[in-house]
Amino acid sequence: MPVATPKQYEAMLDAAQKGNYAYPAVNVTSITTINAALKSFADAKSDGIIQVSTGGGQFASGLEVGDAAFGAIVLAEATHLLAEKHDVLVALHTDHCHPEKVESFLKPLLEASRKRIAEGKGPLFQSHMFDGSVVELDENLKISKELLKECAELDIILEVEAGCVGGEEDGHDTSGLPIEKLYTTPEDMVEVYEALQPIGRFIFAATFGNVHGAYKPGSVKLQPTILRDGQKAVTDKHGDEALMDLVFHGGSGSELNDIRETLGYGVVKMNIDTDTQYAFTRPIVTHICANIEGVLKIDGEVGNKKTYDPRGYLKKGEASMAARLVQAAEDLCSNGKSIFGTV
């Protein structure tokens, strides 16, 4: 089954770390965007990560329901079924969950995995993100340790963050924070490793100037050497085997050389949302503009059903989003490196 088992997901991360590449981790909100992600991974012959944010889950549950955890379960179950038609591995992940949403979002998803495991299946999600960057590091790690214990019991990996990704994305807004909050220190990285490593496997979103949102190339000023220095602080103290699996958030507008540089410092996962949102929407806008008289019933006319049938323009959005994700796989050097069938 192409949705990775816990062991396969660990093998994916190990292969990326060893091979100096990273997986595109794309946020999805619907069947159409799930299919775009799966198509892109298959086209690129790249394994990948499909993730759901709290806002994405709320949207997927429907306007009347508005339940983020329920919507995330719907999207995850759909991915489990749809992924069976593709010969690549995908992992399921949840994006930023702040402390105030742990009980309403993360805990129900952990319970859903617990029920699946009791039925002889694997966990629903292979990893979850707890974003404790909005609180002091001591409090962040206290909550992270509790969650990691629960995740480890279910063979689920926990992603944590220290330092804040700037900007605003899907309800995650840190635009008013002081600039120093955008950079994780080597001391922070050592503290995170020492707190979490004894409990279970985790991945770490260390920040190095990342900013969520849409920016022109060159506008986001990253300092990838922060990752290098932090990893060195950890491995100098605990040995080469302590090299951490890192996550790159807020990559829109990043220069390719910056992206590639992070791969040498242990980044194995890069989140992609803003760029794929635009790639999905752009051809839909073109379709509407080019077919405006058919899409709208103007002056009492009946329009053209073929142009206002949502399937017509959503297929164009799916294809465009998939193409953008193929580019992401190429940027991250994961193309052609699927380990499907080998583990």
Alpha helices in 223-273 (DSSP H): 225-238, 256-263
Q: How distant, in Å, are the alpha carbons of 13, 66, 249, 288 from that of 22?
A: 8, 33, 12, 36
Question: Residue 251 corresponds to which tokens in the numbers above?
Answer: 């990559």
Between CA 70 and CA 61, with CA 160 as vertex, the angle to 5 degrees is 15
Of 53, 69, 38, 54, which Cα lies nearest the Cα of 326? 38
d(CA 263, CA 332): 8
Q: Using CA atoms in the order 77, 123, 196, 50, what is the torsion angle rounded to 10 degrees?
A: -30
DSSP H or E run through 129: strand 127-130
The answer to whether 131 is a known catalytic residue is no
Which one of 14, 43, 47, 95 is the catalytic residue?
A: 95
d(CA 19, CA 40): 21
DSSP H or E run through 159: strand 157-162
Of 129, 127, 145, 125, which Cα lies nearest the Cα of 137? 145
d(CA 92, CA 73): 11
Contact present, 236 and 244 (Cβ < 8 Å): no
The set of catalytic residues is 95
